[in-house]
Structure 1
Amino acid sequence: MSGFIALWCASAALASALLAVTRPGIVHGLMWLVAALLSLAGCFYALGASFAGAVQVLVYAGAIVAVFVFVVMTVDATPEALAEERARLSGAWRLPAGVVALVALPLLLGPNSTGLEPGPATVPLKALGALLFGPWAIGVEIASALLLAALMGARHLGRRR
């Protein structure tokens, strides 16, 4: 039963993600992004990874989307600016689509098409914390600094003249 729920949540996440990137309204796209992130949290819960599901809801669906909403509210979204942005990014979808195809190809060919054996199914929470705040602490701090720099850059680009 949990496999069916995970599959249903995964299909809902995929549909929501597609709607998030195809909606012309920015706020509607963000709402579909929230739906996709909550659907992924449902997948995690259905597969028994409740900690990952809780992190998905708190960090991504909560904090990150709140930052996105802040950025959207500060960006100049006049029709002229949107038309200029669309013209500038008209062919920019090709590279991300190619990367998605390369990542999805092993998944479509089968679970063992990569020749890699699956890792352990569970990781103790204490071990995860020891990794994040031990040898990976610098990487975690660099990621947070990059997010802060992106937020400041978006604020600078979106300010009114």
Structure 2
Amino acid sequence: MHALALLAASVTVVGAVMVITRRVAVHAVLYLVVTLLSLAVILVMQGASFAAMLEVIIYAGAIMVLFVFVIMMLNLGHPDSAREKEWLRPRAWCGPGLLAAIVCAELLYCMGTFSGPARPFAPITAHDVGLSLFGRYVLMVELASFLLLAGLVSAFHIGRNRVGGN
């Protein structure tokens, strides 16, 4: 069990380092997805499967779609054909694919291991998360949504001026 936690933590750290060091934004997003999925595996190992589901749905799903949308909207770098050829090279996909395979194997092993007796602590329900987000933290949730909106408008403004100036 401890070896699996260490393996998931090492995948998370390697993925985070690769996110920081990649020059191509799409490659960094691929490694970020793997990092977020490995964090979800760590949450499953801790018994917080609802938090792991939220991690996958919100961060690895919705936020990554937003990142890819902004990358496509800004259209930075090389012309489209050269950029697509670089993205389709196997070297670009081997690292995230290998890390994702490790994470999937760990998750499948953990799901088989933890299907036995129930946990001694009470699980977090969707009702608890809703009360927490829209109870005393409602101001922080709304501020985060305004921050995301401001970032999206800024990215659109930068991309629009870039296309108009050429």
Return the TM-score normalized by structure 1: 0.67
Q: Which residue of 1 aligns with 2:68?
A: 69
Give the whole-Å Cα distance in 1 for the aligned partners of 2:43 and 2:24. 29
Shift of 1:131: 2.1
Structure 2 spans left out of the alignment, 5+ residues: 79-120
Note closer, same or farther for the CA distance 1:131–1:75 as it changes in structure 2 (3 Å cut): same
**Distance in 1 (alpha carbons) for counterparts of 2:13 and 2:4:** 14
Q: Is the 8 A contact 2:75 2:159 kept in 1?
A: yes
Structure 2 partner of 1:46: 45
- Aligned equivalent of 1:135: 136
Match of 1:6 in 2: 5
Which amino acid in structure 2 is aligned with residue 140 of structure 1? V
Q: Which amino acid aligns with 1:141?
A: E
- Please tell me whether residue 152 in structure 1 is matched to residue 157 in structure 2: no
User: Identity rate of aligned residues, in percent?
Assistant: 42
Q: 1:32 Cα shift?
A: 0.6
CA offsets per residue over residues 42-67 of structure 1, 9 Å max, x none? 11111111011101100000000100
CA displacement at 1:133 relative to structure 2: 1.2
* Mapped contact 2:19–2:28 kept (Cα < 8 A): yes
Residues 1:122 and 1:149: Cα distance change in structure 2 (over 3 Å) = farther
Note if contact 1:13-1:40 (Cα within 8 Å) is conserved in structure 2. Answer: yes
2: distance between equivalents of 1:122 and 1:8? 27
Residue matched to 1:117: none
Given the two structures, how large is their TM-score scaled by the length of structure 2?
0.65
Offset, 1:74: 1.4
Assess if the C-alpha contact under 8 Å between 1:10 and 1:39 holds in 2. Answer: yes
Unaligned segments of structure 1, at least 5 residues: 80-120
**Structure-2 residue corresponding to 1:92:** none
Identify the residue that residue 32 of structure 1 maps to in structure 2. Answer: 31
Partner SS, residue 152 of structure 1: helix
Kept after mapping to 1: 8 A contact 2:20/2:28 = yes
Q: Name which structure has the greater RCO, CA cutoff 8 Å, separation 6+.
A: 2
AA of the residue aligned to 2:51? A
Match of 1:83 in 2: none
Q: Displacement of 1:122 after TM fit?
A: 6.3
8 A Cα contact 1:16 1:36, kept in partner:
yes
Call closer, same or farther: CA 1:122–1:154 in 2, change over 3 Å.
Answer: farther
2-structure distance, mates of 1:122, 1:144: 30
